[in-house]
Homo-oligomer: A and B are copies of this chain.
């Protein structure tokens, strides 16, 4: 294991991206992720990469397309309003099957909202905020170590599935400083890049596009092909973590910072004899519906408690997984506020009483 270093989440994710071989970053400043462009502006030139501050998030995501089409590992980052501006671009990337990593360090919305930490872009990220039938893998780290590890995975997944991957952190994850061990580069074998544009030398000319006009039905065929990829992701890429679920009567479902607060409360509740467990989705899409469904089947599980930094978005996925078999409670804080240990603990006690 490497040496422990102390880094901010926003900086750790950058260093990890560089370890993953990312050499191109296009982005535009926005709180609370400004450390990302600042770090990349310093570090990328040192590794012969290219940092470019775009004139807007719109330009940024399309510059990402440019570098991606060239076969390079590339990323962008932003926060909620900026990510909304990228929705057209993300839809295009998914349509054209281009890999890219998009980091969203979420803040309070809607609109300009606030710069406080939030998880209220869950719907946007998991349902495709852009137009058309597509999905993006959504990874939700809970710590500085995990955001670093996840970046390595994110670039691989983007390449394996030729699809944009969203890393969805809340403002706390981006701003928090914790010790971590920087990850090693991935050793996975990746599919051949036989679609990359580098000039039609010694091969047929290639085109990368999302438009499918002819023959009639071409787009439908393409969409069905995409759907198969999405099904494959659902089969292979669901990631989650379990905490004390073996005897749990109440299952908390939470991700990111909310999951950490939930863990503290869980420990406290366990201390008082309440059998609380936690299931923490790491991929928000594909979602761990099977794991939740299996829990819902267990007699000892009495209820679920979804904890989010929003008004109840993942809640829908929990409902879809539990399908009415057990009660589902919700505790959420929104608009840049974080879950309060005392309140959440109160909620847990309430459920048990």
Contacts and interface: CB of A to CB of B under 8 A. Distances in A.
A134 interface: yes
Contacts of A320: 316, 319-320
Contacts of A224: 334
Interface string A215-242: 0011111111011000000000000000
Interface in A56-105: 58, 80-81, 83-85, 87-88, 91-96
Given A124-B131, A335-B212, A110 B94 contact: yes
A113 interface: yes
Nearest to A130: B84
A89 to B, nearest CB: 8
B111 A210 contact: yes
Nearest to A123: B127
A346 interface: no
A94 B127 CA distance: 19
A205 interface: no
Interface string A118-131: 10110110011111
B110 A131 contact: yes
11 contacts: A83-B131, A84-B129, A109-B133, A112-B209, A114-B211, A114-B218, A124-B131, A129-B129, A224-B334, A227-B311, A324-B325
